[in-house]
Structure 1
């Protein structure tokens, strides 16, 4: 089983290039970073974590693609991913070029984890009604994927329209797309239509959800098995063995959004116990 790490990269946390280098040196397979474009101060939406107050790192998160470019330059084999990027809050033509550039310059090491978002006011500030965010995200990902795969590509959707265009660079190969979110028929329909797998947070309830995911995958005519990559996991020997029994090949371990003197001891502990 491959082990990766994830951290809210901020202006106060361990620099992302240093984290990536340290993770690669210790034998981890990947580093993932999340995204929030901004956090409106009204705080109308309660924290998704269930906490009374939203943690400070949500307000200070770096742009994930820029951060991962620094991580790419500091490493040679580490896989680089978003866990997660919010495509409904991004213009797809510009984001497609940024992703393709990152994948090309990193030698094909990028994985695109995407999600739909939970912060109502953040999403609405991008001109996207909260109830439409899944549909907007779907069209944005489909549009980006077409630009990556085709020499000439146009898109005509409800939320995205652009004429047949050239867009280079292209990624090294197909960019793996993992969809984050809670288990359910809506999410699994999206995974089966345009994703390569599911990126659940933590890992609770995966075993119960796998039959529905595989059913949606097969119903869409997809070959093979959808990938399942738990992210933000607090690892233990028992938990990793449980994941391995289900055929999960990669688990992404949680790190605190903190300076190096707090992060590195935890990274060392994970490496000593699990690698």
Structure 2
């Protein structure tokens, strides 16, 4: 069982390169960071947190994920770095593909791309994307990025209106794995089966019940079973044993967005779990 961590990197939190170094020193496998380009002040969309209430301040202060991960990668040697999650519908796919490929090239092939569809209606609409169409836009953008990473001459038929076949280097050192975040269901699992390597369930609940439907979607698509990474969970030895029994190979634990004196004791506690599961 591999254990990674995720934290909102902000201008007030523990510096991301220091967190990355501390995580690698303690034996963690990966570090993931989320994305919000901005938060419109209208706040028309309620915060979807389990307890409701006010939107936590870190949502307004989040660093750009790819810039933050470049600092994390530069400060480490083996730690995998990833987005958890990248709002693909809100990004230019050609520019984003270049940034991810550059990061993977410079880090020696350590980048994982967790992709989400977004929940903040006004944030998404500010990017010119209809909320109801965000899943289809994200799909097209990811498929276009994968073509740029893979092909000597990438074509975008049916993906990007008006985009001509193109060259784009550097290529990634490895093909960046893509994981889709979101609640279990036929629509999500059809997307996973079509163009992703796996599913990244936020919080990690309900995986056992959802696995048959995920496997069935992959079988219909004629591909191997998708991998599963429970994301943002609060791990215990019992939880990790449960996930291991389901065939899960990596779990990503949540950290608070805060200064080092708040984050490091929790990181040390999680590190004890790594030692117990080794």
Q: How many residues align?
A: 274
**Structure 2 equivalent of residue 199 of structure 1:** 200
* Cα distance in 2, alignment partners of residues 2 and 52 from structure 1: 33
Q: Secondary structure of 2:31's match?
A: strand
CA apart distance, 1:174:
1.2
Deviates more, 1:159-168 or 1:45-54: 159-168
**In angstroms, what is the RMSD of aligned CA positions?**
0.9
Contact 1:202 1:233 in 2 (8 A): yes
Does residue 35 (structure 1) correspond to residue 35 (structure 2)? The answer is yes
**Structure 1 equivalent of residue 4 of structure 2:** 4
CA apart distance, 1:48:
1.4
Deviations 1:13-44 (A, max 9, x none): 00000000000000000000000000000000
* Cα distance in 2, alignment partners of residues 192 and 204 from structure 1: 20
CA apart distance, 1:157:
2.2
**Structure 1 equivalent of residue 231 of structure 2:** 231
* Cα distance in 2, alignment partners of residues 13 and 121 from structure 1: 26
**Structure 1 equivalent of residue 87 of structure 2:** 86
**With structure 2 as the length reference, what TM-score do the two structures score?**
0.97
Q: Extract structure 1 runs of 4+ deviating beyond 4 A.
A: none
* Cα distance in 1, alignment partners of residues 18 and 86 from structure 2: 22
Distance 1:6 1:170, change over 3 A: same
Contact 1:47 1:53 in 2 (8 A): yes
CA apart distance, 1:90:
0.1
* Cα distance in 1, alignment partners of residues 70 and 162 from structure 2: 28
**Structure 2 equivalent of residue 178 of structure 1:** 179
**Structure 1 equivalent of residue 111 of structure 2:** 110
**With structure 1 as the length reference, what TM-score do the two structures score?**
0.98
Q: Secondary structure of 1:77's match?
A: coil
Does residue 244 (structure 1) correspond to residue 244 (structure 2)? The answer is yes
Does residue 48 (structure 1) correspond to residue 48 (structure 2)? The answer is yes
Q: Secondary structure of 1:69's match?
A: helix
Distance 1:256 1:136, change over 3 A: same
Q: Secondary structure of 2:156's match?
A: strand
Q: Secondary structure of 1:154's match?
A: coil
* Cα distance in 2, alignment partners of residues 69 and 94 from structure 1: 16
* Cα distance in 2, alignment partners of residues 158 and 245 from structure 1: 39
* Structure 2: gaps spanning 5 or more residues: none
